[in-house]
Amino acid sequence: MSNIEQSDTFRLGDRMVKRLGYGAMQLAGPGVFGPPKDHHAALAVLRHAIASGVNHIDTSDFYGPHLTNQLIREALAPYARDLVIVTKIGARRGVDASWIPAFSPEELTRAVHDNLRNLGVDVLEVVNLRAMFGIHGPAEGSIEAPLTVLAELQRKGLMRHIGLSNVTPAQIEEGRRICRIVCVQNNYNLAHRADDALIDELARQGIAYVPFFPLGGFTPLQSSTLSDVAARLGATPMQIALAWLLRRAPNVLLIPGTSSLAHLRENLAAAELDLPDDVASALDGIAANTAPAHGATSR
């Protein structure tokens, strides 16, 4: 069993979580829509993650929709006391599996209650507001109205903490004038490094940064440098990519997702890798030679 204790910990809200967690998005069917191909395998992946020491799970009720949260509840409730489940709102799914912005007060309130019901909890630990202004990434636009709704729901006791997803630095600053922001979740990996300066600024402020698509998402990372480093260290390219992220900054919390037990074990083993300085320098150069690939869906 992998020793994820070597990934260290960081504060998420008022809880300390291990920096290597699990993202539940891939538990749903193709296109993050409909039921999983293998219901029992999905439950097994969730249970093995917790048994391996994971205490941070990322999810959303628009995965499925509803099905991923229901799987988490079936597999893990009653939840371990140290488990932090983070969800996100700001979108809904069309009958054609499309991703539709859902920012009205009624939609946001309904989404919070859907997450509470399907996860089977009285209070959500962290809720991320997912901005939907850009198709492939963050785009400017005021988040004041939806975030004010979320802050009011927090005051009513429906969630403990609030985070932001798919946002720009200006939106983060706007958000911090409205409520405390405990985490930022944006697209970031070895090849997609637009948030380098933001990560360092958030680290100085003690705010967690949670990269989604840490392994490239629907277009997995491809690099001869990455493959060469993996061969040298006797690891897989994806393990190297995760180990680089853990090394990148102390506030980076990883949520690699998979529906495979074998891949879950592989991902968790990345915590045990120690990248030499020359290897880290070589990996740092990948972004300069790789155009970022856009994921096909929301996250």
Question: CA 179: distance to chain centroid?
Answer: 21
Burial 76-94 (b: 16+ CB within 10 A, else e): beebeeebbbbbbbbbbbe
- Per-domain residue ranges for the chain? 7-219+250-258
Which has the closest alpha carbon to 87: 37, 162, 147, 153? 162
Please state, rounded to an integer, the average pLDDT across all residues of the chain: 93
Reported as a single tens digit per residue, the pLDDT across 158-195 is 999 999 999 999 999 999 999 999 999 999 999 899 99
Reported as a single tens digit per residue, the pLDDT across 261-288 is 999 999 999 999 999 999 999 999 988 7
* CATH label, 7-219+250-258, candidates 3.40.50.1000, 3.40.50.10890, 3.20.20.100, 3.10.450.50: 3.20.20.100
Query: Is 63 an annotated catalytic residue?
Result: yes
- Please tell me the predicted confidence (pLDDT) of residue 297: 43
Q: Which of 63, 79, 188, 209 is catalytic?
A: 63
